[in-house]
Amino acid sequence: MGVGRMDDREVAMLVARVQEGDAPSFQPIVREFTPPLYNLARKMLSGSEDAADAVQEAFYRAYRDIAKFDGRTRFFSWLYGICVNVCYDAGKRRKRHMEREMPLDEGEAAQPEGGESALERLESRQIQEALRSCLQKIPAPQRAALLLRYQEDLSVDEVAQVLDIGLSAAKMRISRGLAALQAVCRDSGMGGTP
Amino acid sequence: MKERVDFTSDPSLLEEALREMARDTPPAGLEARILEGIAAIPVPRRSPWSRIAGALQTPAATWTYRLAALILLGAILINLRDLVALRTPPATPGGPESLASLVPSTAATCPNDGCGFVVTFQFRADEAASVSVAGSFNDWDPARAPMVRGENGEWRLQLILPPGKYEYQYVIDGRRFVPDPEALERQNDGYGGENAVLRLKRCSSV
């Protein structure tokens, strides 16, 4: 699993220090996990501001409750779990306020690398936008499972840990998520990928 | 240009599309915003109990490690028991050779920006090799308040104590607990004996 540059031991050491009251040790943790958490939140929620707020809230909750982290799971699993829950809450709040789709923020998403032609890039971007839009239409728990499994490259076991569900439930959620996403894509008229 | 394929008909292609979705990068300043917000949150601390419980529950903990943690826990419990024993000193008070006086003084300095009392403990025990004061102000630990022998077998110690109600006894030769015979107030220690009681009322101007 390639969350960041630090290995588990370094992270565990920093977490232990924070638990001892050494607040500055939380800074490298924030630096390490902000990019993956933001990527997850940005795809869980549809607006970049919502995603930034969610990441911020996730770190606040993690810091406030870090004494409760007992080391039985890897730290990133615990942190991702918090972030997913924050995204669930934010999604519910947002749904209450607006039922419309937010447009993708221009120029925010990184472009895929490679020597593609302008047409290919345009097509690739269109597909990605369409896929993002379809992701927003499947249930949030399934969306979280798919993003953790495929975007964050977690094992099914790790997905189960993050979502605090059993292994078979995680497998089921991923499988159903894929089926749901496939159906939404089909209904949206998506049929191509590079 | 690559061939267009219908990934909606093949889940493995959909999986690949999900993997290849561009990663979103956090906006500039997000980390700083987070760290700034965290600075306002009280520093978290893990309680000793949760540390012990966590150590026992960690999958990485070997049986040796768990055993060591249990032994440590046992030692702590035994210590606590000893502490309780100290808090309940022997019921038999000291003999008639004891002569003590307690002089609470409000004319002293107020330490720690608050009102405090310099309390002088005096106790006569001619034949004693050591005398200490053990009380609720020092967790009934005689080692923390040894008295100094003066002339004529009089032992003396000054302590600065904040206002409050305290119970105490003198400890002769580290084993004999004697309530202050000159104390204005005494209280049953719950074990058939008595503790001397010292009340230091809050002073307003010292």
pLDDT of residue B44: 74
In order of start, what are the domains of chain A with their CATH numbers? Answer: 1-101 (1.10.1740.10), 113-194 (1.10.10.10)
Residues with Cβ within 8 Å of B2's Cβ and at least 6 positions away in sequence, in order, are: A120, A194
Contact B139, B93 (CB under 8 A): no
User: What whole-number distance in Å separates Cα of residue A99 and Cα of residue A3?
Assistant: 33
Mean pLDDT calculated for residue range B177-205: 80
Contact between A48 and B39 using a beta-carbon 8 Å cutoff: no
Are B71 and B109 found together in one domain? no
- How many of the other CB atoms lie within 10 Å of CB of B152? 7
Across the interface, whether the CB atoms of B16 and A193 are under 8 A apart is answered yes
Kindly report the average pLDDT of chain A as a whole number. 83
Region B143-159 average pLDDT: 86
Domain co-membership, B132 together with B64: no
List CB contacts (< 8 A) between B5 and chain A.
Answer: 192-193
What pLDDT, on a 0 to 100 scale, did the predictor assign at position A31? 94
Write the pLDDT tens digit of every residue in B105-144. Answer: 323 344 444 556 788 888 888 888 999 999 988 888 888 8
- CA distances to A101, A122, B2, B6 from A116, rounded to whole Å, are 29, 10, 10, 20
Best of B9, B16, B24, B36 to disrupt the A interface (most A CBs within 10 Å) is B24
CB contact under 8 A, A52 and B30: yes
A-chain residue closest to B18, CA distance = A150
User: With contacts defined as CB-CB under 8 Å, which chain B residues touch A66?
Assistant: 44, 46
- Nearest residue in B to A32, CA atom: B31
Please check whether residues B106 and B180 belong to one and the same domain: yes
Q: What is the pLDDT of residue A119?
A: 61
> Residue A37's pLDDT is what?
95
**How many domains is chain B partitioned into structurally?**
2
Whether B1 has a pLDDT exceeding 50, the answer reads: no
Indicate if B59 and B124 belong to the same structural domain.
Answer: no
Beta strands in chain B (DSSP E): 99-105, 117-124, 131-135, 148-149, 154-161, 164-172, 176-178, 185-188, 194-200
**What does the pLDDT average to over B179-196?**
84
Please report the pLDDT score of residue A170 as a whole number: 93
pLDDT on residue A96: 65
The alpha-carbon gap from A97 to the nearest alpha carbon of chain B, in Å, equals: 24
Chain B CB contacts of A26 under 8 Å are: 38
A26 closest CB neighbour out of B16, B24, B38: B38
In this prediction, the residues of chain A whose per-residue pLDDT falls under 70 are: 1-4, 95-123, 191-194
**Across residues B35-46, what is the average pLDDT?**
79
Boundary of a domain, candidates B87, B118, B138: B87
Domain of residue B57 covers 48-87
Provide the pLDDT for residue A57.
92
Range of weakest confidence among B33-42, B106-115, B178-187: B106-115
Q: What is the pLDDT of residue B62?
A: 64
DSSP class of residue B90 equals -
B35 assigned to some structural domain: no
Contact: A110, B7; criterion CB under 8 Å: no
